[in-house]
Amino acid sequence: MLVVHPKKIALFGVFLAVLSMPLFAVERGEISGNCTLPLLDGSGNVALNELKGKVVYLDFWASWCGPCAKSFPFMNRLHDELGGKDLAIIGVNLDENPEDGQAFLAQYPASFTIAADKGEQCARLFDVKAMPSTYLIGRDGVIRDVHLGFRADEGKALRETVEKLLNENPSATGAK
């Protein structure tokens, strides 16, 4: 004889509802969480908390996302022109298939760091709302700007923000 516990079943329902609830949004002004990501070429890891003192341009992309392809030349330019000045540009690939990401990179080569977020923990931590999503993290580890999507005419504003963040406290401790 199966004994049914309505209260337990109701609790189980609440538990399931909580499980399917969305995460808190990550907004500017919040301290960036830490996540460690393996590089796509398998040559090690990149950890956000090791980049304290640097300005971090964190960009989430995927091969199937059209605007991402448009943002790559911009990020390459940013890397070539400012990359040496305490700026870390990290493109986080969110393809389910790593091969798709590789094929995309063959078509749109990247001179900046490319990491893979296979377990999606970084995407969940930052609660990515759109593809691509760009998070600009200041030297103090605070998220200073969140930019959703990418259009060719938005590069200028992004670049200005990056330059502004680079000019803040250039002699910050921990800057490598």
Partner 1 sequence: MPSVRRTYAALAFFLAIGAAGCTEVAPWQRGNLAKPQMALEPYPLQSSFRGHIYGSREAASGVSASEGGGCGCY
Interface residues with partner 1 (CB under 8 A)?
Answer: 3-6, 9-10, 12-13, 16-17, 19-20, 22, 60, 62-65, 94-96, 100, 120, 123-124, 128-131, 133
Gap between the Cα atoms of 76 and 97, Å rounded: 23
Q: How far is the CB of 140 from partner 1 (least distance, A)?
A: 27
Amino acid residing at 134: T
Beta-bridge partners for 58: 90, 135
Closer CB to partner 1, 50 or 100, in the complex: 100
Q: How far is the CB of 174 from partner 1 (least distance, A)?
A: 30
Closer CB to partner 1, 118 or 164, in the complex: 118
Closer CB to partner 1, 89 or 94, in the complex: 94
Written in H, E and C, the secondary structure of 90-153 is EEEECCCCHHHHHHHHHHCCCCCEEEECCCCHHHHHHCCCCCCEEEEECCCCEEEEEEECCCHH
Closer CB to partner 1, 123 or 172, in the complex: 123
- The C-alpha angle with vertex 77 and arms to 119 and 139, in degrees rounded to 5, equals 60
Q: How far is the CB of 87 from partner 1 (least distance, A)?
A: 24
Gap between the Cα atoms of 110 and 39, Å rounded: 13
Gap between the Cα atoms of 95 and 89, Å rounded: 19
Q: How far is the CB of 78 from partner 1 (least distance, A)?
A: 22
Q: How far is the CB of 20 from partner 1 (least distance, A)?
A: 5
Closer CB to partner 1, 6 or 84, in the complex: 6
